[in-house]
Structure 1
Amino acid sequence: MPTTLLERITIEPKSPATSCVIWLHGLGDSGAGFAPIVPVLALPENHGIRFVFPHAPEQAVTINQGYVMRSWYDIKSMDLHNRADIEGVLASEKLVKCLIQEQIDSGIPAEKIILAGFSQGGVLSLFTALRFEHSLAGILALSCYLPTADKLPEQCHSANADTPILQNHGERDGVVPISAGKIANDLLNAAKYNVTWKSYPMEHSVLPEQLADISVWLQARLLA
């Protein structure tokens, strides 16, 4: 994968942007999959939050018979401990760091940037943010796991040791079992990260109630 800026959907606020949410989609989706949530979040009219929904590169995915689709990394096995292709994770980490740096260069400080993601995008948001060298406003990890299975990523950076992390998971998730999310949560708690966990009565998806909770959390991080 080239370390160039990803194609994306950007939704600008009505007032000048003073903060940013970078939201990473799941396997086979695109930035268009989550872009419609912005009005659902019912943010204040003058909120000043820029939303960036990047499209993952297209690549062959082993568990899907090698079909080419948008994917942040190859998934080689359904086994959680061997699921993520770590070389692909590292390549996509570079792409996401470029997106964050683009926002910083535009005048939005790192501490006003939230890195969010769903499923495979949540995996990448957790991995990237824990290793990122500047303090972020928050990390939103939805229906996901750690790509390093039963341990934290190597070279976690102290800059985000206190960054608020919100983990959500579906109690009936048949794609990413809730146990996988709990393993990540247990590891983060054991390492004294500032992590909040909440599960919802859903499958591998998001709920209106959940989006309302996420809106409150985003506003507390970026608008307080």
Structure 2
Amino acid sequence: MPLPTVEQETGAQPTHAIIWLHGLGADGNDFAPIVPELVDDAWPALRFVFPHAPVRPVTVNNGIPMRAWYDIKGLALADKQDAEGIRASVGEVEALIAREIERGIPASRIVLAGFSQGGAIALAAGLRHTATLAGIVALSTYVPMHETVEAERHGANHETPIFWGHGTADPIVPIALGTLSRDTLVALGHQVDWHTYPMGHQVSLQEIADLRVWLGKRLTNG
């Protein structure tokens, strides 16, 4: 059973989909308001799918249950990673992709997007997916389980374009971690369109504008 979702369609009978994963402690409603700012009238009809992450205890937040794609066990995000939780959420994303395919949208017209924790899962799922996706959007995030990416990534998405936006003053996911993750993927031959912005752990209007241009190229070519 796929996760519960908030959905928006920009036109009848959507031909493309964007599955967008929220950050820690938020839910599927978090990014729904950006749709009008992001969408271009010239694009084909889109279905935006904003899933709600499962509720689970989060160690760094004193074990308080909240919506999270995986547990965070320490302040250094790349340390003591919750591989089991990450893999479970990758499975949830696979189920969401499968549902879009069942509804008539092929993988080649599906973009995976996410912010922070959601971006980490978008990267983990997208790089491992066995059919070519339209693109991956990674906002204020990092590559989880980076030591297994080379072995586990699938050839279908070696050339899938990646949009990456990161704040230069991000106190939650330091830009150094984002840069390290970017460099890891570039060294493996992935196409990363890297953008930085003078902001913290957030999304900016300029970032949305840049993403709109990038998405336009992905959505009008397939």
Cα 1:204–1:178 shift into 2, 3 Å: same
Q: Residue 203 of structure 2 is aligned with which of 185, 206, 216?
A: 206
TM-score after normalising by structure 2: 0.96
Q: Which amino acid aligns with 1:12?
A: E
Q: Residue 171 of structure 2 is aligned with which of 154, 170, 174?
A: 174
| 2:162 aligned with 1:159 | no
- After superposition, give the CA deviation of every residue in 1:41-91 in whole Å (9 maximum; x if it has no partner): 141166311100000000000000000000000000112331530100001
| 2:213 aligned with 1:216 | yes
Aligned residue-pair number: 221
Cα 1:125–1:46 shift into 2, 3 Å: closer
Equivalent position SS for 2:36: helix
Cα 1:42–1:108 shift into 2, 3 Å: closer
Looking at structure 2, the residues matched to 127 and 154 of structure 1 have their Cα atoms a distance apart, in angstroms, of 12
Aligned position for 2:21: 24
**Offset of 1:149 from its aligned partner?**
4.4
Looking at structure 1, the residues matched to 212 and 157 of structure 2 have their Cα atoms a distance apart, in angstroms, of 21
Query: 5+ unaligned residues in a row in structure 2: which ranges?
Result: none
Q: CA RMSD in A?
A: 1.3
* C-alpha contact (below 8 Å) 1:13/1:46 kept by paired residues: no
* C-alpha contact (below 8 Å) 1:23/1:51 kept by paired residues: yes
- Larger displacement relative to structure 2 (46-55 or 84-93): 46-55
Equivalent position SS for 1:221: helix
Equivalent position SS for 2:3: coil
* C-alpha contact (below 8 Å) 1:120/1:144 kept by paired residues: yes
Q: Which amino acid aligns with 2:197?
A: Y
Looking at structure 2, the residues matched to 38 and 113 of structure 1 have their Cα atoms a distance apart, in angstroms, of 16
Looking at structure 2, the residues matched to 154 and 204 of structure 1 have their Cα atoms a distance apart, in angstroms, of 30
Equivalent position SS for 1:5: coil
**Offset of 1:20 from its aligned partner?**
0.3
TM-score after normalising by structure 1: 0.95
Q: Residue 130 of structure 2 is aligned with which of 124, 129, 133?
A: 133
- Larger displacement relative to structure 2 (9-18 or 39-48): 39-48
**Offset of 1:150 from its aligned partner?**
5.7
Which structure 1 residue ranges, 4+ long, deviate > 2 Å from structure 2? 149-154
Looking at structure 2, the residues matched to 66 and 49 of structure 1 have their Cα atoms a distance apart, in angstroms, of 37
Aligned position for 1:193: 190
Equivalent position SS for 2:29: helix
Matches within 5 A, 1:28-43: 28-43=25-40
| 2:16 aligned with 1:7 | no
Equivalent position SS for 1:212: helix
Looking at structure 2, the residues matched to 217 and 45 of structure 1 have their Cα atoms a distance apart, in angstroms, of 14
